[in-house]
Amino acid sequence: MNQMTMPTPQIEGHTQQWQALLDTTAEGIWGVDLEGNCTFVNRTAVNSFGFNSEELVGNNMHELVHHHYPDGRHFPGSECPIYDVVRKNKGLRQVTDTMFRKNGSSFVAEISAQPVVVDGKVAGVVVTFRELSDRQKQQEDLHKAYELAERKTAELDAVIESMPHGVYIATPGAGMRSNHVAKMMTGGQFPSELKTLQKALVGEWSTETVRQSDRWIRSVAAPILLNGKILGGVAVNTDVTQVRLQDEALRRSEKLAAVGQLASSIAHEINNPLESITNLLYLIRQSRSMEDVQHYATLAQSELARVTEITLQTLRFNRQQSKPVQVDMAELLRTVIALYTGRLLVRNIDADIRLVETPRVFALEGEIRQVVNNLVRNALDAMSYGGRLLVRLHCQRDWQSGAMGARVTVADTGEGISPEMKLHLYEPFQTTKEMTGTGLGLWVSKGIVEKHGGRIRTRTRRGETHGTVFTVWLPVEGSASLTAPAG
């Protein structure tokens, strides 16, 4: 018969001392064996869970106090991090989790667990925990929120610093911060010539381009909003010097191309009066009557005056102005159209010109002449086999600003512009003329018109009643920032 080994009084004394020591701690403590069954529990844990020690010791602690996720889903032991301490022989430190009481209520606890190793093998786990009050939970949540905010701020800083543009962020009363590109561009100070950031701080979105010494800066700015409240403003500045130089080079090339295209028309216009002069000189040599000689000389003089006028118009077209002047739009339209008299006759195009006298427009005359020439030339090119050219000029007040302006309309009865081409009509290198067009005319024209504070519009139709209408509106007083292009 086997005899049961009874605990000696000395062992019982040590056990009681050990239990008393556990019961004095403010944290809840329990131990589990390799099966997850409770081997001991202290008074704090008993009070927290609402079980008595007899209900806990010898039973599976996970099924008693750790059986569900916070959202109510069943929490299998295979997913329990405390079991992982046994499986992985690795401690658990300060994990926040939800525990359950005997009555079914729950509480949030901070849990730590360490494996119990005997003779080099894991024999069980000791678990400690402390309940987190609402205030403690809020503090922990706040701490985690701070950590998340710091991480997100660091990520945002990394993004801003990696941008190839100058970034400036301003907040009222907190100064301004900028990335390294901004510091390289302007020493971190926002350019005083730009008002975009200032506008952003009062809730406005804006875009500006200014010249600084030998470079151009384009700035795009927007307010920083949160729940409708302005927290600050952000501006992104880009050095667009190379883009501006390329644009100016394209515009100069278009100017030269336009002059070259005029050459054929001008040569034809000059050739006609020269032939007349040649014939008149022959008649003068053959004439025996002084009255006839004088008549022929008068005609020759008239033809020479025509040559002179054509030459002056050509020089006027190519002349670059440094300052805007008061431009007579009716006279400008007449002189441009006069250069195409020969082409109108050759192509059997009927010109319907109606010019109402308008107030003079404050503008760079050479540039406006280039716009009108582009529109008239395009209209004629659209009517290779005859048609009707309509040119109109009259006053028109802008319905938005109320400013008085001159409206120029150039229309043709050509086949119209395809929908695909119309989508990209004012973009560079878009042309329907194949080998004879540069594709820059309308792009340049739009830039000139907008620089003068005006606008250009297009209407086109294909089919039975086909044709295209271009309308340009220019303010009489011009634009406040009107300057001639460099070069």
Split into its structural domains, the chain has a count of 3
Q: Which residues contact 379 (CB under 8 A, 6 or more apart)?
A: 389, 410, 411, 412, 414, 468, 470
Domain boundary among the residues 239, 259, 279 is at 239
For the record, the structure tokens of 15 come out as: 């056990």
**Does residue 145 lie within any of the structural domains?**
no
**Does residue 483 lie within any of the structural domains?**
no
pLDDT tens digits along 295-354: 878 878 877 876 776 676 666 555 555 688 899 999 999 988 887 877 788 889 999 999
For the record, the structure tokens of 189 come out as: 């100070």
Say whether both 326 and 450 belong to one domain. yes
Q: Which residues contact 105 (CB under 8 A, 6 or more apart)?
A: none
Give the pLDDT score at 467.
Answer: 92
DSSP at 78? G
Domain boundary among the residues 108, 137, 166 is at 137
Give the pLDDT score at 275.
Answer: 67
pLDDT tens digits along 213-227: 778 888 899 998 888
Say whether both 289 and 399 belong to one domain. yes
- Strands 106-118 and 121-131 turn out to be antiparallel
**Does residue 148 lie within any of the structural domains?**
no
**Does residue 224 lie within any of the structural domains?**
yes
Which CATH number does the domain housing residue 307 bear?
Answer: 3.30.565.10
**Does residue 486 lie within any of the structural domains?**
no
Provide DSSP, 15-75: HHHHHHHHHTSSSEEEEEETTSBEEEE-HHHHHHH---HHHHBTSBHHHHHS-B-TTS-B-
More confident residue, 399 or 454: 454
Whether the CB-CB separation of 194 and 217 falls below 8 Å is answered with: yes
The Cα diameter of the chain in Å comes to 170
For the record, the structure tokens of 249 come out as: 């080079």
**Does residue 186 lie within any of the structural domains?**
yes
Say whether both 319 and 197 belong to one domain. no
CA angle (330, 305, 350) in 5-degree steps: 50
Say whether both 90 and 172 belong to one domain. no
Structural domain including 367 reads 244-475
pLDDT tens digits along 171-224: 877 678 888 888 888 777 888 888 888 888 888 889 888 887 778 888 899 998
Q: Which residues contact 432 (CB under 8 A, 6 or more apart)?
A: 417, 418, 421
Say whether both 226 and 180 belong to one domain. yes
pLDDT tens digits along 264-301: 556 656 766 776 677 778 778 888 888 878 887 887 88
Give the pLDDT score at 435.
Answer: 43
Identity (one letter) of the amino acid at 438?
T
Report residue 163's pLDDT band, with 50, 70 and 90 as the boundaries: confident
Ramachandran region of residue 153, left (φ > 0), alpha (ψ -120 to 50) or beta?
Answer: alpha
Whole-angstrom CA distances from 378 to 196, 302, 422, 430 are 38, 31, 14, 13
More confident residue, 319 or 49: 49
- CB-based burial label for 86 (10 Å; 0-12, 13-18, 19+): buried
Whether the CB-CB separation of 188 and 182 falls below 8 Å is answered with: yes
Say whether both 339 and 450 belong to one domain. yes
Find, among 250, 251, 253, 192, the residue nearest to 217 by Cα.
192
Which CATH number does the domain housing residue 112 bear?
Answer: 3.30.450.20
Say whether both 168 and 255 belong to one domain. no
Say whether both 101 and 217 belong to one domain. no
Whole-angstrom CA distances from 209 to 131, 191, 294 are 61, 11, 63
- CB-based burial label for 150 (10 Å; 0-12, 13-18, 19+): exposed
Domain boundary among the residues 110, 137, 164 is at 137
Within 10 Å of residue 189's Cβ, how many Cβ atoms? Answer: 12
Can you tell me the mean pLDDT for 27-54?
A: 92
Within 10 Å of residue 308's Cβ, how many Cβ atoms? Answer: 11
Whole-angstrom CA distances from 160 to 155, 163, 196, 236, 324 are 9, 5, 19, 10, 42
**Does residue 147 lie within any of the structural domains?**
no
Say whether both 185 and 277 belong to one domain. no
Give the pLDDT score at 158.
Answer: 84
Give the pLDDT score at 401.
Answer: 81
For the record, the structure tokens of 184 come out as: 């390289």
Can you tell me the mean pLDDT for 447-472?
A: 90
Say whether both 164 and 256 belong to one domain. no
Say whether both 314 and 364 belong to one domain. yes
Give the pLDDT score at 480.
Answer: 65
Whether the CB-CB separation of 357 and 432 falls below 8 Å is answered with: no
Residues in the chain, total: 487
pLDDT tens digits along 376-389: 988 998 898 889 99
Whether the CB-CB separation of 111 and 92 falls below 8 Å is answered with: yes
Instruction: State phi, psi for 108 to the nearest 5 degrees.
Output: -90, 135
Whether the CB-CB separation of 133 and 110 falls below 8 Å is answered with: no
**Does residue 12 lie within any of the structural domains?**
no
Say whether both 456 and 318 belong to one domain. yes
Residue 109 pairs in a beta bridge with 97, 131
DSSP at 368? H
